[in-house]
Structure 1
């Protein structure tokens, strides 16, 4: 017969077991990154092998809290920005926006590889090895959060505070539809179409601009009218791929390939999206 354990002993055992299981499925790295302005930003990177996700979080120098979640199973990347209000303009509250877009699996190391990374010098200031080109995203839809599971099971919780400000673009729907085998119409049921953006003129030709097209917030003085906001989010440092080296094999003139490190990158994303009032986009001057 097994000995009986006191309640306190059981509680301690359960706590240790939970902590051990969490440690086995989720690991964290803290990285000090120097941005292009010379400031040092602390990134927290979590890898969860069970969910097959990687989460990267940091706070910009302007106070904006950025969370990036990569869902490898669904080829989905979510970037959430919690933006503080500008007190000098009478904004006492913060706002949250979320952007969902396709994520190529080979543009970030896997959650398993990420969970195995260790730091020899945690206090070191990191710089990325490569600065990748900026991607521009024009968002076409609002996501209805209660139906967001069609994209990823992690969207609803992550973007709970962005009920009216979670966005996706049409071209990503096509990619997911092909890769995941889900009809585009299934995605569309979870979305609301956004008003069109007013097109800029090209050379000497004036683009068609119907009355319902929305102007850019940039330079707009009409605080209470809708406009098209722009928000740039840069991930200053992340492991974008693995490095492989060659070594001598067991036989003469033979070689073996083995993993010998990581390559790090910097990536910027410029999001363009519809808002109901210019006041929600005061940074876009």
Structure 2
């Protein structure tokens, strides 16, 4: 009995410590169309990550993970299927990219944010426009620990639909010193295929991929375009100047956050047009 009580005590302490390391913020956001939805932003200081999640009016669930330590951004998208048109109940895609720090406040700063009026409807102060991502590589999530240990669990439902880019691979190699040969074992290019000839070494040739919007064949492979918008996120800190007595230069102090919204357009390989019916 004593051992059980000690075990329960340890669990309580661990749960308490986890609560200290993680902070949740629930934000009510109004988008450009006037719809109001809730964003949940979670900061984990010990892991140095932030996750942001919201559900669009069409049921699409969007989750953004930022791993500051490894300079990785992952956007996971769960899209509900149109079963009457032959789609599965839902599909999940993961888009893994190199992350530039200036686009989000740190996990530590995020953990210290508090809302004075939690029910307030938030509108982003700055529109950072559109960023296009042409995802030209498949990423094997089971081999992605070199990039970030979080990908394998975060993208566990996107085993065949996790994508990255050659440009991102180059950034991780140059800036983090990751072995190129090891990293390249985790990716493969879907714009080329292996061709087998009896008695001859395998060769690789490039294939052209039609845009899904340009084909009516629901079973044809094609390049799908998916547009997303992160409607509100803390993109920087605000600094104010203290009062000056005329003798000293006024000091500056943190006095709030700057908020932004940002659009993403992901172009990626889809095995069938019917999995990309929104791109018509």
In the superposition, the TM-score normalised over structure 1's length comes to: 0.89
SS of residue in 1 equivalent to 2:251: strand
Residue number among 92, 111, 115 corresponding to 2:111 in the alignment = 115
Correspondence 1:158 to 2:169: no
Q: Displacement of 1:106 after TM fit?
A: 1.5
Compare 87-96 and 50-59 and name the one that shifted more.
Answer: 87-96
SS of residue in 2 equivalent to 1:21: helix
Structure 1 residue aligned with 2:231:
236
Counterparts in 2 of 1:235-274, with a 5 A limit? 235-248=230-243, 252-274=247-269
Tell me, yes or no, if the aligned pair for 1:244 and 1:259 is still in contact at 8 Å. yes
Q: Displacement of 1:87 after TM fit?
A: 3.3
Compare 181-190 and 47-56 and name the one that shifted more.
Answer: 181-190
Tell me, yes or no, if the aligned pair for 2:86 and 2:274 is still in contact at 8 Å. no
Q: Displacement of 1:272 after TM fit?
A: 0.4
CA separation of 1:11/1:221 partners in 2, compared to 1, >3 Å: closer, same or farther? same
**How many residues end up aligned between the 2 structures?**
268
Correspondence 1:225 to 2:220: yes
Q: Displacement of 1:250 after TM fit?
A: 8.6
C-alpha RMSD of the superposition: 1.9
Compare 14-23 and 32-41 and name the one that shifted more.
Answer: 14-23
Compare 178-187 and 151-160 and name the one that shifted more.
Answer: 178-187
Distance in 2 (CA, whole Å) between partners of 1:7 and 1:185 is 49
Distance in 1 (CA, whole Å) between partners of 2:90 and 2:8 is 40
Residue number among 129, 144, 149 corresponding to 2:125 in the alignment = 129
Correspondence 1:145 to 2:146: no
Q: Structure 1 runs of 4+ off > 4 angstroms? A: 5-12
Distance in 2 (CA, whole Å) between partners of 1:228 and 1:57 is 26
Structure 2 residue aligned with 1:201:
none
Q: Gaps spanning 5+ residues in structure 1: where?
A: 197-209
Higher strand share: 2
Structure 2 residue aligned with 1:200:
none
Structure 1 residue aligned with 2:196:
none
Q: Displacement of 1:178 after TM fit?
A: 1.4
SS of residue in 2 equivalent to 1:13: helix
Distance in 2 (CA, whole Å) between partners of 1:184 and 1:211 is 22
Tell me, yes or no, if the aligned pair for 1:248 and 1:254 is still in contact at 8 Å. no
Distance in 2 (CA, whole Å) between partners of 1:54 and 1:66 is 14
SS of residue in 2 equivalent to 1:117: coil
Q: Displacement of 1:11 after TM fit?
A: 5.7
Tell me, yes or no, if the aligned pair for 2:191 and 2:206 is still in contact at 8 Å. no
Distance in 1 (CA, whole Å) between partners of 2:130 and 2:161 is 22
Q: Displacement of 1:12 after TM fit?
A: 5.4
Q: Displacement of 1:184 after TM fit?
A: 3.1
Structure 1 residue aligned with 2:90:
94
Q: Displacement of 1:13 after TM fit?
A: 3.3
Q: Displacement of 1:185 after TM fit?
A: 3.1
Distance in 1 (CA, whole Å) between partners of 2:72 and 2:61 is 20
Q: Displacement of 1:181 after TM fit?
A: 1.3
> Deviation per CA, 1:152-175, whole angstroms, max 9, x where unpaired?
110000000100100001111111
Tell me, yes or no, if the aligned pair for 1:141 and 1:192 is still in contact at 8 Å. yes
Structure 1 residue aligned with 2:80:
84
Q: Gaps spanning 5+ residues in structure 2: where?
A: 193-204
Distance in 2 (CA, whole Å) between partners of 1:119 and 1:157 is 31
Residue number among 33, 38, 55 corresponding to 2:51 in the alignment = 55
Structure 1 residue aligned with 2:24:
28
Distance in 2 (CA, whole Å) between partners of 1:27 and 1:278 is 40
